Every structure is written in C-alpha cells, then in structure tokens.
Structure 1
C-alpha cells in the first residue's frame, strides 16, 4: 500500500468518525435520543470496548479467558475511589492510570503461569482469578466492601466514550496487523507448529492478555463514572459470560464482528426490556438458534476494510 493511499484511508476513517459523532450528538441535543436511549448508547460503547478487547485474547490469540470481568472491576474501582477524592477529569485520568498499572501487574501474575495451560484449564484458571479480584474488592475498606461505592462523579461523556471505542479498535486492529499480532494468529492456528518455527508462544500470549486487560480496565473506569454506583456483584462470573457471548455472537477473530455484535445485543436487550417475564427466555432462544444456524457467529471472521473496498473499486474501473 502506497503512503498516499494509506493517508487517504485514514482520512476517510476520521471523516466517518466525525460524522458519526456529529449525528449522534445532534440527536441527543434535540431529544431524538432521550435519556433512556442515551443509557443504551453508553452501554453499547462500553460493551464494544469489552468485546473488542476480549476478542484480541480469544479470537486473535486463541486463549479461552473467562476473567475479563476481573480487569473491568479493577478499572471501575480504581476510577471510583480516586474520582471521589478528586472529582474532576484529572482524577479520572489518574484513576485510569492506576487501573492500568494494577491490571498490568495482575495480568502478568495470572497470565505467566496460566497461559501455559490450554482449553478448559485456562478458562477455569482465569475464572478463578476474576472471582479472587471480586472477593478482594468485597472485603476492602477503601472500596466500601459489599455495599460498593456510591456518589461517583458523573465524568463519563459521549465524546469520552467514543474516544475510548476508537482507541480500543485502533489498538487491537494495529496489534493484529503487527508482527506480534501475526505471531498470536500463528499460535491460535497451531501452537506446536508456531513453537517449532521459533516463536516464543508464552511471550506473545502474555502480551495479548496484558493489552486486553488494560483496555478492559479502561472500559471499567468509564463504566464507574457513568453509573455513579458500583458494587462487587456487578463483576461476577455472569459479567464475563456476557462479554464472551458478544464475542461468540459476532464471530471470533474479527474486530468488526465484535463491534456489530455489541451493538446488536445492546439493541436486543433494549427491545426485550418490554418483555420482562420472558426476556431471558427469548434472549437465550435467539442465541441458541443463532449458534445452530451460524456456528461461526453472526458475521464470522469478516472485517470491514476500506482498503479492500477501494481495491475492488479500482479493479472495476480498470476492467472498464
């Protein structure tokens, strides 16, 4: 790809993001997106960050992790505690950085021994880690124990959320296309063959795990400063499963699939709120039907690529 084409594609993505921001902001300002729909929109943005970051670990690196809620919990409580002491955006920034630091240390402690495991053993180990984090938070004075934190400053805004989504997608997409990302894909396809080719499989699996943990921590921080109240019960095993469902629902190995799945499930949850008695039954039935007829996920491993779109248009012009 030439430098001019690369710059043109980047410019197109920037224009699309700006247009999306202007359209959604305008709809919120004029009341088309009311407070109820705004909550749904904010939830979707947070879920996109969580789904894309988990897809990096499961879909790209092929490591079945059930501990994502633990890193989200770390980010949420780091931001919650610090922003209560410093109720401004500087406090949120400090909270994000503290969450990143704790998440990196926790991810290294967990990943170095557990990523030598495979399949169900890795899932159980990461699940146990998430529960340990939740129980620690539940028994600490600084986190107010089981009662949780309340009165967290409402610092999360739509521009901040959109920035978080864009940064998450850019980081994960660029990592996937980089040399370490290609090494992770090789590990996913055949770990034994990757090791035979001289790839340090543990190193790259740990790297992907740490990046996913940092991004999940950022999503947790924005979650805490959006809902004002956080409790340990919000970061249980069920939350990890919710994030996993979004990845599987869309299709593992594709960032586009994770984004679209998070949006689809967010809208589906909003629609099914009107059917409280049978909401979980309908939700489960839809997922089961989708898994039967689309086992690779709703969108599979396909990516939206402006490079490919432009290449096809160029090929059509040349064919004429």
Structure 2
C-alpha cells in the first residue's frame, strides 16, 4: 500500500481542486491560472521528449499546438455550435464526445508532425531548428488564409461545447479535463520513456550512429517520438482553445514556441520532473509579471535613464522570456534538475509511488 501513497495524494489533490472550483472557493482567475499550468505542463513535457530525451533541437512546437487547437475547435463547433448551421449532436452527449474531439485534434497534429520527422532523418541541430521554425510559419500563414475558419481574425464558438457539458451536469468541466489530460500526459510519457522505444530514444541522444549499430531503428524511433510529442501538443491546443473560447493563428507564433523551450531548458533536458516543475514556475512568473507594481519596481533603474518609458505587461513579458533563456544557457545550461528525476535526487521517494 505504501507504494501508492504519492498516487493517492495526487488524486486527492485533484479532487480538492475540483471541489474548491465547484463551490467557488477559488475565483475564476485562480482557476484559469491552474488550467494554464496544466496546459504548460503538457507543452513542456511533450517538447522535452524531442529536445531533451532525443537530443534534437526543435523550435516550432507551437505549430502542433495550433493544429490541435483549430481541428478541435472546428469539430467542437460542428458538433455543438451554431456557426456552421444546426448542431450535429445533442447537448447531453458533450461530456462524452469532448475528450474524443480533443484526442482527434491531437491525432491530426501527430500525423502532421511527419512533415518534421521525415526531414529530421537527415538533419540535426541548427538545420532541424530551421525546418521547425519554417513549419511554424507555414501553419500560421496557411490558417490566416483560410477564411472559412476565420483567417487572421481568429475562430470562436467552442464555448458552446463547454456550456453544453455544464448544462447537462454542472461541474467545472474544463478544470476536470485539464487535470485528466495533464495526468494522462505525464503517465504516458513516463511509460514511453521507460519502454524499449524510449530506451532507443535515449540511445539516439547519446550517439545516433552507435544506436544504429546496436540495431536501433533510428528512423522509426524518431518518427514515433516526434508523433507522440506533437500529438500531446495538439491535445494542449484543444484544451487551450476551449478554455479561452477563441483561437487566433498569432497565438501560436514563434513566441509561443519560445515559451515551451524556456520551460524545457529551465527544468532540465531529459527530466520529466524538471519539465513539470519549470512549467509551474514559469506560469507563476508570467502571472506575477502582469502586475504593474512589480513591473515598475523591476524597471525603476531604467526609468532613471528613460523617464518617459512606460512599457506594457505584454512588452515586459517578451523581454523577460528571451532574457531568461539567455541566462539559463549562460549560467545553468543543465537546468533545475539536469537530466535527473525527483526520485534520483530523493531516492526515498521511490517507495511511495508507482506508475504501473
């Protein structure tokens, strides 16, 4: 029974979040922050599969989030919205169909990732980074030129699905699904990394040529790893779209990909625990930087030189994020956890949990 202690604590924690959200002990802002923490955990842990465990360098992870967001949004509106005419499904089915919609969005993003995984067979490092940046821009430009899904104006109507779930059975459904998919993401990545394919991924990271000599099918392993990573990013995109109720192509530009990279390198490449910790810290930092009082304090030295400079919170965000990435690379390139897990730092934890 002791080996299930951490699992039970996590389940009780999730139930506590749902209970406090249901009875409005947490206001809408705190609930939104918690849900965005979950989204960022999915993004950071999924990108960590490629940039950390496999040792590749991709810079366009937001492209797959964008594909998942738009596919899920269009399906959601078709099933329960009025944007394209009469809804295809009754409201009562929303709570059962919604996870399927999100998973389909992730599956389409996973298939789309083949555009990256195939070129990756012959490219690495800087060349792969350029390819993934190009894919990010291709996706955004393509969607901006699709007027039937809003084009550059964006797409909305996904809240109809959320309201359909709430009207059927009133609980904080989006909080529930974000928690469920976040836990599922951590579980499936843990299982994948400890599997035979996961060991192949780590072998490629160490030495791809040696991995091939040791009979690892590097092309197949790379493709599976890319597809899993992109699929989970697509799931994050679907959840994000339904939390906000609106998606715009520019919400998934290179800056969004940079956020995911910062979280990966802050936590430590190849560390699942580090990716989770960094996602929580990064989301908290971004929310703190929304405060004008804190911004004023941070910029007080600069205002002595530029007294009329009054940057917005959004501008400061995109000064801090790249600066944080530079500082990490300079002073702590291995990140918070390096390539270790919490169980490596605290071996006694191993007897309190199991992922089997």
Q: Same fold (TM over 0.5)?
A: yes
SS in structure 1 of the partner of residue 224 of structure 2: helix
Q: 2:147 aligns with which of 141, 150, 158?
A: 141
**Separation in 1 of the partners of 2:232 and 2:350?**
32
Please tell me whether the aligned partners of residues 290 and 298 of structure 1 are also in contact (alpha carbons under 8 angstroms).
no
Where does residue 46 of structure 2 map in the other structure?
A: 53
Instruction: Name the structure 2 match of 1:265.
Output: 282
TM-score of the aligned structures, taking structure 1 as reference length: 0.88
Q: CA deviation at 1:299?
A: 2.3
Tell whether 2:250 aligns with 1:233.
Answer: yes
Offset of 1:287 from its aligned partner? 4.9
User: Which residue matches 1:224?
Assistant: 241
Distance apart, 1:195 and its partner CA: 1.7
Q: Offset of 1:51 from its aligned partner? A: 0.4
Task: Give the SS at the match of 1:98.
Answer: helix
1:278-306 Cα distance to aligned partner (Å, 9 max, x none): 73345555554444432211222221239
Contact 1:82 1:92 in 2 (8 A): no
Given the superposition, is the C-alpha separation of residues 286 and 109 from structure 1 closer, same or farther in structure 2, using an over 3 Å criterion?
Answer: closer
Q: For the residues of structure 2 that align with 1:135 and 1:89, how far apart are their CA atoms? A: 33
| 1:91 to partner: Cα distance | 4.6
> Does residue 1:299 correspond to 2:316, yes or no?
no
Q: Map 1:70-89 onto structure 2 (within 5 A).
A: 70-87=63-80, 88-89=94-95
Which whole-Å deviations, capped at 9, do the CAs of 1:158-206 have from their partners, x for residues lacking one?
Answer: 1111111111111111111111101110110111211222222121111
Deviation, structure 1 residue 94: 4.3
Contact 1:104 1:213 in 2 (8 A): yes
Q: In the alignment, is the contact (CA less than 8 A) between 1:82 and 1:91 conserved in 2?
A: no
Structure 1 residue 29: deviation in Å?
4.3
SS of equivalent residue, structure 2 residue 247: coil
What is the Cα deviation at residue 55 of structure 1? 0.3
In 2, distance between residues paired with 1:310 and 1:94?
Answer: 35
Which among 129, 139, 142 is matched to residue 135 of structure 2? Answer: 129
Question: CA separation in 2, counterparts of 1:261 and 1:65?
Answer: 18
Structure 2 partner of 1:252? 269
**What's the C-alpha RMSD, in Å, of the aligned pairs?**
2.3
The aligned residue for residue 66 of structure 1 is 59
Query: Residue 32 of structure 1: CA displacement?
Result: 4.6
- Aligned match of 1:92 in 98, 102, 106? 98
Counterparts of 1:135 and 1:43 in 2: how far apart (Å)?
25
Distance 1:99 1:312 in 2: 37
The CA deviation string for residues 213-236 of structure 1, in whole angstroms up to 9 with x for no partner, is 111111111011110010001011
Q: Secondary structure at the match of 2:342?
A: coil
Closer, same or farther: CA 311–47 of 1 in aligned 2, 3 Å = closer
Q: Counterpart in 2 of 1:193?
A: 210
Structure-1 separation of matches of 2:329 and 2:125: 20
Query: Does residue 195 of structure 2 align to residue 178 of structure 1?
Result: yes
Number of corresponding residues: 306
User: Residue 348 of structure 2 corresponds to which residue in structure 1?
Assistant: 309
- Is contact 1:81–1:142 with CA below 8 Å preserved after alignment? no
Shift of 1:8: 5.4
